[in-house]
Amino acid sequence: MLLSLTGLWAVWKFHDERKIDHLYTLHSWLGLSCIIFFSLQWATGFWTFWYPGGSRSGRAFLLPWHVFFGVFIYVLAIATSVTGLLEKSIFMQSAKMIGRFSTEAILMNSLGMLLVLLSTLVILAIVSPGTSRIDTYRGSSE
């Protein structure tokens, strides 16, 4: 949370100083939505699961939504980062600061690919049942 707010402050200040419009790209819309959803998720989690803490039934009701929004916000953060890398690379190529196959462009493409690979493994880990849960399903069907 602290890092995302620092990042937002830094990019906002940079836009103000260079007199660049705010929030004109898809990346910036995705990023702002991501920060808003993450803040709501954080505040709701803190309020109900930590302090002052909700009732047992209230927490049981919220848990599946907490899990769903956790995955959703994670995917949104990956999409934001990939579009951020994409637009930065295109901006720099259009300004002739870097070439299409320059080391910088290849580094940014590789970072994007690694983010997609990482998120695929994370989502796989979340949805795969795991041995203990498979045993539970087997037990209940037999």
Would you tell me which residues interact with ligand HEM (CB under 6 A)? Answer: 4, 8, 11-12, 15, 22-23, 25, 27-28, 31-32, 34-35, 77, 80-81, 84-85, 87-88
C-beta closer to ligand HEM: residue 29 or 49: 29
- Separation CA 126–CA 112 (nearest Å): 21
Q: 44 near 66, Cβ under 8 Å?
A: yes
C-beta closer to ligand HEM: residue 48 or 79: 79
Structure tokens at 87: 């637009």
Q: Which of 16, 29, 36, 18 is nearest to 87 (CA)?
A: 29
C-beta closer to ligand HEM: residue 96 or 138: 96
- The distance of closest approach from Cβ of residue 112 to ligand HEM in the complex, given in angstroms and rounded to an integer, is 9
Tokens 């080391």: give the residue. 103
